[in-house]
Amino acid sequence: MKYAKGQSGNPNGRKKGAPNKITGTLRDMMNDFLNNNYENFLNDYRSLPVNERVKTYRHCLQFCLPKLNSVDIQSDKEPINELIITTCRNKLIDRLINKKTENENETV
């Protein structure tokens, strides 16, 4: 490696943590564009088929909501994910059995 870690060939370069000027300018331009075309976007959005609206909505959400990381939690006995899956499966089976029983009682 030519330079030591944390150093570059330009000691007068951008300081660590300083915002990138081009990124800031582009962000401002996009913000202006979105603000000035909001009504057009809404009209176009409303005219989309349902499946396209859902895709567009999900795509836009990524800019509004923080991304969540998955967390793997372990218990003393078994992985928590297995416990959740087993519990959900059992509840689903119980619901299906109850629904089948209700349907059988209605037909009798």
What is the total count of domains within the chain? 2
- Whether the full predicted model's pTM is greater than 0.75, yes or no, is no
Q: How far apart (Å, rounded) are the C-alpha atoms in residues 41 and 47? A: 10
Give domain status of residue 1, yes or no: no
pLDDT band at 49 (very low <50, low <70, confident <90, very high): very high
**Same structural domain, 47 and 26:** yes
Question: Is residue 106 predicted with pLDDT exceeding 80?
Answer: no
Report the percentage of the chain scoring pLDDT > 70: 78
**Same structural domain, 57 and 74:** no
Q: Which residues contact 32 (CB under 8 A, 6 or more apart)?
A: none
Longest dimension (CA), the chain: 87
**Same structural domain, 100 and 58:** no
Give domain status of residue 86, yes or no: yes
Write the DSSP assignment of 33-77 as a string of letters.
Answer: HHHHTHHHHHHHHHHS-HHHHHHHHHHHHTTTSPPPPP---B-SS
Average pLDDT, the chain: 78
Domain interval for residue 34: 18-68
pLDDT band at 16 (very low <50, low <70, confident <90, very high): confident
**Same structural domain, 22 and 52:** yes
